Every structure is written in structure tokens, then in C-alpha cells.
Amino acid sequence: MPVIELENVSRAFTVTSRTGLRRTRREVRAVDGLSFTVEPGEVMGYIGPNGAGKSTTIKMLTGILVPSSGSIRVAGVDPSRHRLKLAKRIGVVFGQRTTLWWDLPLKDSFAVLQKMYAVPRARHAENLATFVELLDLGDLLDVPVRQLSLGQRMRGDIAAALLHDPEIVYLDEPTIGLDIVSKARLREFLAQVNAERGTTIILTTHDLDDIEALCSRVMVIDHGHQVFDGTLPVLRASQNAPRTLIIDLATSHPPITIPGTTVTKTDGPRQWLTFPTTTSAAPLVAQIAATYPLVDLTVTEPTIESIITNLYAQAHK
């Protein structure tokens, strides 16, 4: 049974703007007729360009915002009508701002949360020990939150969101501003939480490496509409974005001509040829090797960035 269900959900805002003495009001449809379900234990990447409607969706799922129309059920209840009841079953992390108490040491914030969510003491202690170890928080427990670095604070926020054993966690840009090592560690931790606890994770991110590393499903939204829902390999295949063959010849050579390929760039003896995903690289390589002084080669897959740019462009046609 789905743990999240949206049926034809829309949310509009009235925006007032002023030109000279004139005030005009217009309606912005932040989310427009969105329907989808999420099964327990899924890790879904929820992505889209700025202003696509991602945060508005998450706010409706947590009950902070009420939809203008349509229906939402999270863990069996309507989030806006049962916000407090639902709070015990969900965890939320907003990368841009902390939910921790700024002046309190991290451990005191955790203690407040134990009381707020009425987590049994033994369970709280067990979870805390696990998260302190996995997120390497040991040396940070006595440090006031305002003194933590962004990466340390984020680890604290993630632990805080999970201490009450939520079934669903919404993570809004959890890796924003983190260095590569911290990002990798956080992704590893989230994958482990999902695997061991079966926590459903909805991840909003602009970092497509987060999606590659964590998400079995990707939903792409643009102008409040869903433009894709499926796995990353299906997204890649659906866009039929070309692959690139990078070849190194023994010497500089004019762009090589092979039917079905296009040379997009040359740099001395190196040339970049694009070819359709449906074409096998092997015969192409054989043909090049038979005709040109081939020294080395690499085949690269289209990046998710290029696929998504392509997807947005198609949605606007």
C-alpha cells in the first residue's frame, strides 16, 4: 500500500506586483494537477529547475501548506488536517536552514527532541548511539549549533530528523554546500538508513550525483507539472541522448568523417565524436582503427545534467 498518495493536487498563490501606482494581482500555479504514489521504502529523487514547485509539494506533504484542490494522504492521513499526528511519523531536513536550537549544544537539541516526540528513553539512547557513530558526531555533542560548520550542522540535522524513527523523511537539498567527502559520507549514511530501517526517502536536490547514488526512482517536475517519473536508466534511454567517443590519434587530423557520427570538438590529435545511444560502439571503433592511426579511446555516457536539460527543453516546446 502506498505511504504517500497525491491525486490531482494543485496549489496556487496570489502574487501582487506594483508598477508605479498600479497594483496588479496574478495567480501563480506552483503545483498544477500532480498525481503520484510512493511505496514504503522507496527512495525518490524529486527534481526540477528553480521555481518548479518542489518545495511547495514538500510543504503540502508535511501539512504546512493546504492544497488549493486535489487530495493528499501521507501514512494514511490528510497532512494538513492531522499535522501534529503526522509529525511523529515524518522527518524533515531543509538544507538551507537548521531545525536545531542555535544556542544549545547538539546533545541538548537531541534531548529536547526526545521529549517533544515522546520517544522511549531506551530507544532514543539506542538511536542516538547509532547516529553518533555513523555520522561521526561524538566530538560535536557539546558544541553549540551556531559554532558547527555547515557539514557538521547538516549531520546534526539529519540525526535530529531520524531520532524518532520516522517512516518517511523529506530531505530538501541535504548536500547543499558540502564538500565531496562530506557528501559521499552523507549519501552512504542515507543509503544505510533506507536499507536497514526501510525508511521512505523523498530527496529534493540540484545535485544529480545525489540522485545517481541514492534514488531508485526519479520524478522530474517543471512549472508544477510532472514531466518524468521512472528510473534513472529509463530517463537516460527515454531521452536518447548521444554517447561520446573520445579518440586520440597519433597526429592531428582534420575532423574524421564516419556516417552516423558527428565530430563536436577537436583538440590537437584528440577528437570528440557523438553517436546515437542505439548504436554499438564496437563496430565504430573498428572502423576508425582500420582507417585512422588510433592510439587510445574512451566512451562516455550522456551526463544526467544534459539529459535533464534536454527534458526541460522538450517540456517547453
| Cβ 49 to ligand ATP shortest distance, Å | 7
Residue among 51, 76, 177, 255 that touches ligand ATP (CB under 6 A): 51
Q: Segment 53-72, which members bind ligand ATP (CB under 6 A)?
A: 53-56
Of the pair 52, 273, the CB lying nearest ligand ATP is at 52
Using CB under 6 A, which of the segments 44-52, 143-151, 174-182, 268-276 binds ligand ATP?
44-52
Number of residues that bind ligand ATP (CB under 6 A): 12
Could you give the 3-state DSSP secondary structure of residue 308? helix
Could you give the 3-state DSSP secondary structure of residue 205? coil
> In which residue are the cell numbers 522511549 written?
120
For residue 289, report the phi and psi dihedrals to the nearest 5 degrees: -60, -35
Residue among 8, 15, 125, 149 that touches ligand ATP (CB under 6 A): 15
Of the pair 28, 294, the CB lying nearest ligand ATP is at 28
| Cβ 171 to ligand ATP shortest distance, Å | 13
Q: 16: which strand partners?
A: 25
Residue among 9, 44, 48, 72 that touches ligand ATP (CB under 6 A): 48
- Binding flag, residue 12, ligand ATP (CB under 6 A): no
Of the pair 4, 113, the CB lying nearest ligand ATP is at 4
Could you give the 3-state DSSP secondary structure of residue 145? helix
Using CB under 6 A, which of the segments 36-44, 51-59, 128-136, 163-171 binds ligand ATP?
51-59
- Binding flag, residue 202, ligand ATP (CB under 6 A): no
Burial class from Cβ neighbours inside 10 Å (0-12, 13-18, 19+) for residue 25 reads: exposed
- Binding flag, residue 223, ligand ATP (CB under 6 A): no
| CA–CA gap between residue 282 and residue 291 (Å, rounded) | 15
| CA–CA gap between residue 253 and residue 119 (Å, rounded) | 69
- Binding flag, residue 175, ligand ATP (CB under 6 A): no
Q: Do the bridges between strand 22-38 and strand 4-19 make them parallel or antiparallel, or are there none, so unpaired?
A: antiparallel
- Binding flag, residue 50, ligand ATP (CB under 6 A): yes
- Binding flag, residue 10, ligand ATP (CB under 6 A): no
Of the pair 56, 152, the CB lying nearest ligand ATP is at 56
Of the pair 189, 228, the CB lying nearest ligand ATP is at 228
| CA–CA gap between residue 300 and residue 245 (Å, rounded) | 6
CB 39 within 8 A of CB 229: no
Single out the residue of 266, 303, 262 nearest to residue 284, CA to CA. 262
C-alpha cell at 238: 527515454
Question: Which residues have CB under 8 Å from 296's CB, separation 6+?
Answer: 247, 248
Tell me which residues touch ligand ATP (CB under 6 A).
Answer: 13, 15, 28, 30, 48, 50-56
